[in-house]
Amino acid sequence: MMRGMAPHAHPASRRTLTIVLALNALTFLVELGVGWWTNSLALLSDAGHMLGDVGAIALSLAAATIAARPPVADKTFGWWRSEILAALANGVTLFVIAALVAAEAVRRLGAPPAVPGATVAWVAAFGLLINTISVAALAAGRKHDLNLRGAFLHAMSDALGSIGALVAGILIATRGWAIADPLASLFIAVLVAVAGWGLLRDTLHVLMEGAPASIRVDRLRAALEASPGVMAVHDLHVWSVTSRFPAVSAHVVADPALSLAEGQLMLDRLRGILREEFGVRHATLQLETETAEGCDPCGEPVGTPAPELRAGA
């Protein structure tokens, strides 16, 4: 492992995703078969969503496996961004599923077909049980892993979709309300679209090198500049390589009265602040002896030269 990089709990993630994948595949087959037999759009749409889940979770599992590979010469950060790409693909998939389900539900609203409500309700209850198990299995890692969060959102929207199908089946069986079937499908489509939007927003934020939501950049800058011996901090960049892997780079202008050894001790202290207060274990800090007024990344450094640090302790 490269120095400064935070480890991922890939074995646990892969084990969880494998279990959830098997459960979702079983539920998909049951809902597809019964939905086709009963002509229930609520079950077929939930089965379609479940098929998307199977593909999404398989993609997440593949990404977690690839991400565990060690860095190589031309990929110094390793393969961890594969998890973010998988989450992005899952977000797009959620939107596509929502659009397909909504289009078919609208078509059926005018003339909803007759479906056996009791059968729909029982199968939806089975799907809800499986989805609840999947949600519970994925819940622990969703806050710190966008890849697991993508799988979690698929499972959560499926659980809510199963609730919609269950309610529709009960209404059809007890009230004869055939329109409840396409209405439940519209409900499922909205839930799926909302989940997809949240996931896409967060993955695009990572791909655009946005700062992690858990880190306030202004507070981080203030903590660095408040440290003894620091005159200024510029060219500060805070981003995420992948979930649970925040990174920081910055130019630190040191008090010219410090010796070179004292400057290095100051950098060690700053890395400790980043690690203890902000959870950043990968930090690249460049020690400078000029007061920067700005920075042109494509040109020469801009600033007013300051005296060189004294050599020796």
Residue 43 lies in a domain: yes
Per-residue pLDDT band at 283 (split at 50, 70, 90):
very high
Q: Are residues 51 and 182 in the same domain?
A: yes
Query: Do 59 and 83 form a contact (C-beta atoms < 8 A)?
Result: no
Residue 17 falls within a domain, yes or no? yes
Q: What is the mean pLDDT of residues 97-109?
A: 81
pLDDT at 301: 46
Q: Which of 207, 225, 260 is the last residue of a domain?
A: 207
| Domain shared by 144 and 246, yes or no | no
Which of 35-44, 135-144, 228-237: highest mean pLDDT? 228-237
Q: What whole-number distance in Å separates Cα of residue 155 and Cα of residue 163? A: 12
> Domain for residue 173, yes or no?
yes
Q: Which amino acid, one-letter code, is at 24?
A: N
Is 2 within the bounds of a domain? no
* Per-residue confidence (pLDDT) for residue 289, from 0 to 100: 77
Residues 99 and 23 placed together within one structural domain of the fold: yes
% of the chain surpassing 70 pLDDT: 83
In this prediction, residue 141 carries a pLDDT of 65
Domain of 189: which CATH number? 1.20.1510.10
* Dihedrals phi, psi of 287, to nearest 5 degrees: -85, 130
Per-residue pLDDT, 312: 44
Same domain? 249 vs 168: no
User: Is there a single domain that holds both residue 51 and residue 24?
Assistant: yes
CATH number at residue 281: 3.30.70.1350
Same-domain pairing of 234 and 194: no
pLDDT of amino acid 276:
92
Q: Which domain covers residue 290, as residue numbers?
A: 217-305
Q: What predicted TM-score, i.e. pTM, was given to this entire model?
A: 0.64
Same domain? 132 vs 223: no
pLDDT at 162: 79
pLDDT tens, 78-99?
A: 787 887 887 788 788 878 878 8
- pLDDT at residue number 10: 52
For residues 16 and 116, state if they share a domain: yes
**Sheet containing 282-288, strands listed edge to edge, beginning at the edge strand earlier in sequence:** 230-242, 245-254, 282-288
Place of tokens 């050894």: 261
- Structure tokens given for 44: 């077929």
pLDDT in tens, 182-202: 887 788 788 778 878 877 888
- Please tell me whether residues 202 and 282 are part of one structural domain: no
Give the pLDDT band of residue 103 (cuts 50, 70, 90).
Answer: confident
CB 88 within 8 A of CB 207: yes
What does the DSSP assignment read for 68-114? TSPPBTTBTTTTTHHHHHHHHHHHHHHHHHHHHHHHHHHHHHSSPPP
Query: Do residues 118 and 182 share a domain?
Result: yes
Q: Is residue 287 part of a domain?
A: yes
Residue 235 contacts residue 249 (beta carbons within 8 Å): yes
Q: What is the mean pLDDT of residues 286-292?
A: 73
Separation between Cα atoms, residue 23 and residue 134, nearest integer Å: 7
Counting the structural domains of the chain, the total is: 2
203 with 221, same domain: the answer is no
Q: What does DSSP assign to residue 197?
A: H
Q: Average pLDDT, stretch 266-295?
A: 83
pLDDT digits (tens, 9 = 90+) for 218-265: 999 999 999 999 999 999 999 988 767 889 999 999 988 888 888 899
Of 207, 226, 244, which residue sits at a domain end? 207
Residue 295 falls inside a structural domain: yes
What residue spans of the chain are helical by DSSP H?
10-38, 41-67, 81-109, 117-139, 146-175, 180-207, 217-225, 260-278
The stretch 147-168 carries a mean pLDDT of 77
pLDDT band at residue 308, thresholds of 50, 70 and 90? very low
In a domain, residue 311? The reply is no
Instruction: Tell me what pLDDT residue 225 has.
Output: 93
Kindly state whether residue 194 falls inside one of the protein's structural domains: yes
Identify which has the larger pLDDT, 141 or 167: 167
Among 164, 183, 207, the domain-final residue is 207
CB atoms inside a 10 Å sphere around CB 256: 15
175/73 same-domain check: yes
Write down the pLDDT at residue 145: 66
Q: What is the pLDDT of residues 113-134, one digit of tens each?
A: 777 778 878 888 888 888 888 8
Residue that wins the pLDDT comparison between 224 and 12: 224
Range of lowest pLDDT (3-17, 50-64, 226-240): 3-17
Burial class (CB in 10 A: 0-12, 13-18, 19+), 70: exposed
If we measure between CA atoms, which residue out of 88, 67, 86 comes closest to residue 14? 67
Six-digit token pair at 190? 């909205």
Reduced to 3 states, what is the DSSP secondary structure of residue 289? coil
Taking residues 22-28, report their average pLDDT: 83
Q: State the pLDDT at residue 206.
A: 85
